[in-house]
């Protein structure tokens, strides 16, 4: 499988063009695994939601549609926990594993195009949802090394004393190339828990010259640091120096911490800020379940949206335990009050 060449120039500007067309702020999608489970999928598997690429790809397609119809302007592929190594552990060949990675992008692209065509073919413009003239972007989801381990270490950043930047680059390299070759609009590098992995990814993006803009998002459990204890501001400053990164942000973090993190990010970067928090619940890596039901309702979640937008967030969605209902409520809130002053 060779490297893609002649990537259209508009790919490089896809995110900035979407934000411009949308008036400065776009809704992203929500918890993919959460919605798969709501439809009855059993994803208690080291591959997590990516297992459905093997077993029930049509459900993956359905969930993409649900988020698009809820108003998502960016949808992420079902590849967060998909890795070549993980697929090989299931007995698949390297070629089969790489095809599944690229299939995750194709499924999202096909459903995006189908929904877009339907919106354009509506006989009367008034029957279309406000803002539906935006053609959504497809972001290839790339989880951290900890996500591959499936031991909850993406929520701690503890990879052990022997982990190095070079080892992390070796882990991520081929998956990044394969996903980029599938031609997504973006690379969504998510739930990065430590500065070491941030350094590895920044170097890798520069080395590979993938010509697909990326965002890198971090998770935090205190509103100051990433989950490893490394400074969130230091991690963002590292990403800010990487021209291949088009946006930076926060995901899978309780909503109550997001505003402070936006303010911290804005002090060290002028890149667009993406935020997609979880519901506020806590993931237990031992029982592999979300527990301590401190989660907030969709209405409560949306009450934060205008503060985040005013502070500088330009892409807003949800992560674990959020649903199309959450995204629909965010979309509605942003479109009911679209003219919000943004602090730079």
3-state secondary structure labels for all residues of 39-100: CCCCCCCCCHHHHHHHHCHHHHHHHHHHHHHHCCCEEECCCCCCCHHHHHCCCCCHHHHHHH
For residue 194, say whether it is annotated as part of any ligand binding site. Answer: no
The two three-digit tokens of residue 153, written as one number? 């270490």
Q: What is the pLDDT of residue 3?
A: 43
160: left (phi over 0), alpha (psi -120 to 50) or beta: left
End-to-end Cα separation, the chain, in angstroms: 43
State the Cα–Cα distance between residues 12 and 314, nearest whole angstrom.
18
Lowest average pLDDT, out of 5-14, 33-42, 108-117, 242-251, goes to: 5-14
User: What DSSP element (H or E) covers 275?
Assistant: strand 273-276
CB 193 within 8 Å of CB 156: yes
In the chain, % of residues over pLDDT 70: 85
Mean pLDDT of 45-58: 88
Radius of gyration of the chain (CA): 18
CB 258 within 8 Å of CB 232: no
Q: What is the pLDDT of residue 287?
A: 45
For tokens 């690229």, name the residue: 102
Mean pLDDT of 219-235: 97
Count of CB atoms within 10 A of residue 164's CB?
12
Of the candidates 25, 36, 24, 122, the one whose C-alpha atom is nearest the C-alpha of residue 324 is 36
CB 242 within 8 Å of CB 268: no
Count of CB atoms within 10 A of residue 93's CB?
11
Q: What is the pLDDT of residue 301?
A: 75
Instruction: Identify the band that residue 129 occupies on the pLDDT scale cut at 50, 70 and 90.
Output: low
For residue 52, say whether it is annotated as part of any ligand binding site. Answer: no
How far, CA to CA in Å, does 340 sit from each of 25, 160, 219?
10, 44, 26
For tokens 């972007």, name the residue: 137
State the Cα–Cα distance between residues 153 and 158, nearest whole angstrom.
6
For the chain, the helix, strand and coil percentages under 3-state DSSP, each to the nearest 5: 45, 15, 40
For tokens 């204890």, name the residue: 229
Please check the confidence at residue 5 and state whether its pLDDT lies above 60.
no
State the Cα–Cα distance between residues 285 and 150, nearest whole angstrom.
8
Of the candidates 57, 141, 75, 80, the one whose C-alpha atom is nearest the C-alpha of residue 113 is 75
CA 40 to chain centre: 23
Please check the confidence at residue 98 and state whether its pLDDT lies above 90.
yes
- CATH code reported for the domain at 24-283+297-334: 3.20.20.330
User: Where does residue 6 rank: exposed (0-12), middle (13-18), buried (19+ CB within 10 A)?
Assistant: exposed
Q: What is the pLDDT of residue 84?
A: 94
State the Cα–Cα distance between residues 323 and 70, nearest whole angstrom.
9
* pLDDT per residue as tens digits for the range 70-85: 999 999 999 998 999 9
Q: What is the pTM of this model?
A: 0.90
CA 67 to chain centre: 13
More confident residue, 3 or 140: 140
Helical packing angle, 195-208 and 232-240, nearest 10°: 10
- Domain residue ranges in the chain: 24-283+297-334
Helical packing angle, 94-121 and 57-70, nearest 10°: 40
State the Cα–Cα distance between residues 30 and 63, nearest whole angstrom.
10
Q: What is the pLDDT of residue 91?
A: 92
Q: What is the pLDDT of residue 2?
A: 35
Please check the confidence at residue 123 and state whether its pLDDT lies above 50.
no
């Amino acid at each position: 499988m060779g490297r893609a060449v002649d990537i259209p120039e508009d790919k490089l500007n896809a995110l900035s063009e979407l934000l411009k067309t949308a008036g400065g702020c776009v809704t992203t999608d929500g918890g993919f695994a959460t919605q798969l489970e709501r439809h009855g999928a059993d994803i208690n598997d080291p591959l997590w939601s990516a297992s459905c690429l093997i077993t029930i790809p049509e459900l993956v397609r359905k969930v993409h549609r649900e988020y698009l119809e809820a108003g998502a302007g960016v949808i992420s592929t079902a590849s967060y926990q998909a890795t070549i190594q993980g697929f090989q552990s299931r007995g698949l060949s390297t070629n089969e594993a790489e095809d599944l990675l690229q299939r995750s992008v194709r499924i999202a692209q096909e459903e995006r195009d189908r929904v877009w065509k339907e919106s354009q073919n509506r006989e009367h413009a008034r029957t279309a949802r406000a803002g539906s003239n935006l053609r959504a972007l497809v972001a290839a989801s790339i989880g951290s090394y900890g996500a591959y381990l499936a031991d909850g270490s993406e929520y701690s950043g503890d990879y052990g004393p022997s982990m190095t930047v070079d080892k992390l680059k070796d882990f991520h390299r081929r998956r990044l190339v394969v996903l980029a070759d599938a031609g997504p609009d973006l690379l969504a590098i998510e739930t990065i828990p430590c500065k070491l992995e941030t350094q590895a990814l920044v170097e890798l993006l520069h080395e590979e010259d993938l010509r697909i803009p990326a965002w890198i998002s971090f998770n935090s459990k205190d509103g100051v640091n990433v989950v490893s204890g490394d400074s969130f501001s230091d991690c963002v400053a590292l990403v800010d120096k990487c021209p291949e990164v088009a946006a930076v942000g926060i995901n899978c973090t309780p909503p109550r911490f997001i505003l402070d993190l936006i303010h911290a990010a804005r002090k060290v970067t002028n890149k667009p800020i993406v935020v997609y928090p979880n519901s506020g619940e806590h993931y237990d890596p031992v029982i592999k379940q979300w527990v301590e039901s401190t989660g907030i309702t969709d209405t409560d979640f949306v009450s934060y949206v205008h503060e985040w937008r005013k502070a500088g967030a330009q892409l807003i969605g949800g992560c674990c335990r959020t649903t199309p209902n959450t995204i629909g409520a965010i979309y509605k809130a942003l479109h009911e009050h679209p003219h919000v002053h943004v602090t730079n």
